[in-house]
Amino acid sequence: MSLLAMSRIDHYVVSDEGQVELAEGAPDGAMAAVQSIKRKCKIFRDKEGHETHREYDVEIRLWDKPQPLKLTGRHVGLYPNRVEVTGKDGGPIELAPASTEELLARHRALAEATE
């Protein structure tokens, strides 16, 4: 996961032959952060049909960073899936009994506030 999180496009270089390689100083295993590589080759010819040179158009796509980081954070408990609510000093939540009139009054107040 750290390779995905810390990967940068300058960890990669494209050779004269259009091959993607690790740049000097790139971490070992940085190629694991590459999702895909698209390579197009244009061949240029002279009037007689002889090849004069080639140009390579290379697209490097790295894996998405936010999702693996989110999953890692959830795994170590940074983003809990649930939240527990407790009462005073970690005890149960105490509910005070309310009469029907009090509940109706609260309902009316909420309904008026949302209008």
Tens-digit pLDDT profile for residues 64-111: 888 878 888 888 888 877 778 888 888 888 888 889 999 999 999 999
Phi-psi region of 77 (alpha: psi -120 to 50; beta: other; left: phi over 0): left
Please report whether residue 60 resides in a domain.
Answer: yes
pTM as predicted = 0.54
Range of the domain at 69: 1-80
Terminal C-alpha separation, the chain: 49
Please say if the pLDDT value at position 1 is more than 70: no
SS3 of 14, please? strand
Tens-digit pLDDT profile for residues 17-74: 889 999 999 888 888 889 999 999 999 999 999 999 999 999 999 988 888 788 888 8
Please report whether residue 69 resides in a domain.
Answer: yes
How many domains are contained in the chain? Answer: 1
Please report whether residue 56 resides in a domain.
Answer: yes
Backbone angles phi and psi of 104, in degrees to 5: -65, -40
